[in-house]
Amino acid sequence: MPSGDTRTQTSRGAIWRIAFIICLGSFLFGYNSAVINGSFDFMADPSQLGLDSLGQGLVSGALTLGAAFGAVFGSPLAGQFGFKRLLGTAAGVFLVGAVGCALSVNLPMMLLFRIAVGLMVGLVSSVIPMYLAQTSPSVLRGTISSLNGLMIVIGQLVAFSVNAVLGVSFADIAWVWRVAFVLASLPAIGLWIGLMRVPEAPRWLMTKGREEAALESLARTRNAEEAETDLRLLRTSIQEESGKHASIKQAVSHPWVLQILITGCMLGVTQQFAGINAIMYYGTQILQDSGFGQQAALIGNVVIGVVSCVAAAAGLVSVDRLGRKTLECGGLAICAACLLAVALISMLCGGAAWAPMTILVIVFIYIFVFQATVGQVTWVLNSEIFPPQYSAACTGISVFSLWAANFVVSLVFPLMREAIGMGATFLIFATCCVASFLFVMVRLPETKGVPLERIADFFISRYGER
């Protein structure tokens, strides 16, 4: 008979396999958001879509606009239909969207399919962290939840690599960008097939009165004793919450819940206004502005993707060791310094021979720090800070704010770059990092090792009674 340690090791392996399958949705999030980085020069060709700066902003922004609304509806739909069914539908739309984008013959058609893909990106961005948090044993919750962020940047790395290979090897073929878009269909198929092998979230099963199925789901990722214990905790928690799940209007009527929602929304805005997706979406143009040729910029993008993956892996390890607030504040401070350095070099020394390589190194440092800290912590906190009875109402609004900020950055960055230059634009991002650092220092509690039910106590003590 297997020992308790052996059963525990087996269940730990199972949660990683389940998390990897679910996070194929996160991979699709990363790939679809980054595939435009390196494709714009080809899409600008008159024989293709003929995109100018505004057109580039619209194609980039269409996905993030769709994502903002997909995030709002993701949590309520998961509560009604279950995580597996919802993610299966998302996989199907990702597949259709990949083919549709690749076959687009004009800007309106491309925008239509980018918005459809964006709706699914927003949906998975709100649903996957919830699934991981509800399915993972508490001792692994932060680490497993961080896999979401790691798979996002792996998706971005693959997109950068595909664009680099296509852009360098087939530079004279204007339609080659379509290959990069259609390849997104492969992980979509993988997600749809993989979902057949993962359990439904145990909390959702319990809310539907399927206690036996919930125990089976828990037993997939825990040993028998842990599964029974967590089932009892779930039963008690759901009984206490019975009839208490609130609409957004009911939630914000409580001052302490409103303050949690404001904090969650600002964390999303903070992540985006730190400038990360200006680099992830427009890295090729940024490197070209710094003095690199097109092919060198495409290869530089791949290195950015590698740095992102290494950093996300480091964040995976550190989030449950160093704490969320420590990583968030430290990351914002270093990112502000890096962005300020890039801004000053661009404005004062842009013509110097050493400037391009120096900017590239600073960008690498910025990417590593951001992805290991702010990029990881935001998604973990968004799955933690809302009390269960308000989670469905608040999570969607919080992720909507993140995607709305992402939309603003993706739409206006090419216009700002053209109007005021890269240096001044990065100076604005650096200022946003400083303001975000001050906000986090004042508003955010440390949630490392704190039970989900107790995180709200920080806000209750400040703003009102439960």
What the chain holds in terms of domains, given with CATH numbers, is: 4-198+243-463 (1.20.1250.20)
**C-alpha pair distances (Å), 31 with each of 14, 70, 85, 305, 417:** 25, 17, 22, 11, 24
Q: Mind listing the pLDDT tens digit for each residue in 407-452?
A: 888 888 888 888 888 889 999 999 999 999 998 888 777 766 665 5
Per-residue pLDDT band for 339 (boundaries 50, 70, 90) equals very high
The pLDDT, as a whole number, for residue 241 is 61
pLDDT exceeding 70 applies to what percent of the chain? 88
What was the pLDDT predicted at 305? 84
Write down the pLDDT at residue 450: 61
Range of weakest confidence among 74-83, 117-126, 158-167, 359-368: 74-83
DSSP type of residue 222: S
pTM across the whole model: 0.76
Query: Residue 16 CB: number of other CB atoms within 10 A?
Result: 15
User: Can you read off the two tokens belonging to residue 267?
Assistant: 């964390």
Residue 72: the pLDDT is 80
The per-residue pLDDT for range 263-320, each reduced to its tens digit, is: 888 888 888 888 888 887 777 778 887 777 777 888 888 888 888 888 888 877 776 6
d(CA 380, CA 136): 13
Choose among 450, 440, 400, 377: nearest CA to 146. Answer: 377
Supply the DSSP symbol for 46: T
Which stretch, 73-82, 152-161, 351-360, has highest mean pLDDT?
A: 152-161
CA distance 301 to 284: 7
What is the spatial distance between Cα 87 and Cα 76, in angstroms, rounded to a whole number?
A: 13
Task: Report the pLDDT value the prediction gives residue 243, as an integer from 0 to 100.
Answer: 55
Q: How confident is the model at residue 385 (pLDDT cuts 50, 70, 90)?
A: confident
Residue % of the chain over a pLDDT of 90: 22
The answer to whether 419 and 290 have CB atoms below 8 angstroms apart is: no
Q: Give the least confident one: 134-143, 239-248, 281-290, 395-404.
A: 239-248
What is the pLDDT confidence band of residue 1, given thresholds at 50, 70 and 90?
very low
End-to-end CA distance of the chain: give it in Å, rounded: 47
